[in-house]
Structure 1
Amino acid sequence: MKISDFAAHSGLTPDTVRYYERIGLLPRSVRDAGGRRSYGMADIGWASFLRKLQAMGMPMRDRLKYSRLRTEGPATTVARREMLEAHRAGLAARVAELTGLITALDDKIDLYRTMETAIGGQNDDYRPPSDDDSGDRAALEHDTLDTGADHAG
């Protein structure tokens, strides 16, 4: 298939395909008699995997290293697996970190919903407590609302 078809199937632009070939992420394509690039299904599979590595946040230098190892063949299987395992471990750590951050946001959102319910139809002079959880929770635990100093929230 020609570069435009390959680009459409792989999700890459023709310029990106040429760039990836130039830097070694994609193998040099076969050329037809007219000198035009020609790609096969295996090329689409590799381009798809490269896009996934990019989406996973793998740095370009690591993708280049992985690609070089791939071109060296089966003798580099262990090195490639180890690279992917290391990257996976980093992704798993990031997922755990993001899960903790989402939990913190959920806790804050729940706290504000509880506060909104607690203040119900109270007066317009109410100013929400600051984003310091201890102050927010203390106000709720003591059934009081802070109407004193200005607070952000």
Structure 2
Amino acid sequence: MTITEVSQKYDISQDTLRYYERIGLIPRVNRNKSGIRDYTEEDCGWVEFIKCMRGAGLSVDVLIEYVRLYLEGGSEETLKARKDLLIEQRKQLVARLEEMQKVLERLDYKISIFDQKILGAEKTLSRPTKAYF
């Protein structure tokens, strides 16, 4: 796939894709004879993975480390390091989700109070005693 196709498929700008490759967030993408990026299914898998992880709030630095460890190979040491990295990020995500749930509950409460006050205020409005129609 061309960079244009990947950009459209994953809703990521071409500049962002180039940047991700340049900083090591996704492994180097092969190029065709004309020097144009030619994304394979595996490359697209990386793009999808990175987009998902960034959407979940993982930092660029953490993901660069993950990719670096992946590219070092599947030794017992790098496998453990990658798993530990993912476990730590999961813990942080769970903590953020719990905090967001508290915020959501508070917002729901504030909205319900707002609605109650508005409805209460409307009931207390004076009504005309004579019809002026």
TM-score by length of 2: 0.79
Aligned residues: 124
Which residue matches 2:105? Answer: 103
Which residue matches 1:60? Answer: 60
Which residue matches 1:3? Answer: 3
Gap change, CA 1:112 and 1:83, over 3 Å in 2: same
Q: How far, CA to CA, are the matches of 1:13 and 1:23 in structure 2?
A: 16
Alignment check: 8 A CA contact 1:9 1:44 kept: no
Gap change, CA 1:117 and 1:62, over 3 Å in 2: same
Give the residue type in structure 2 aligned to 1:49: F
Gap change, CA 1:120 and 1:8, over 3 Å in 2: closer
Q: Shift in Å at residue 115 of structure 1?
A: 4.0
Q: Shift in Å at residue 42 of structure 1?
A: 1.0
59, 68, 93: which one aligns with 2:95: 93
Gap change, CA 1:58 and 1:118, over 3 Å in 2: same
Gap change, CA 1:77 and 1:104, over 3 Å in 2: same
Q: Percent identity?
A: 33
Give the residue type in structure 2 aligned to 1:84: L
Q: Shift in Å at residue 2 of structure 1?
A: 2.2
SS in 1 for 2:123: coil
Q: How far, CA to CA, are the matches of 1:114 and 1:58 in structure 2?
A: 39
User: Which entry has the higher C-alpha Rg, 1 or 2?
Assistant: 1
Which residues of 2 match residues 3-152 of structure 1 at below 5 A? Answer: 3-75=3-75, 76-119=78-121, 121-123=123-125
SS in 2 for 1:95: helix
Gap change, CA 1:123 and 1:31, over 3 Å in 2: closer
Higher RCO, 1 vs 2 (CA within 8 Å, ≥6 residues apart): 2
Q: Shift in Å at residue 64 of structure 1?
A: 1.0
Which runs of no fewer than 5 residues in structure 2 stay unpaired?
127-133
Which runs of no fewer than 5 residues in structure 1 stay unpaired?
125-153
Gap change, CA 1:63 and 1:116, over 3 Å in 2: same
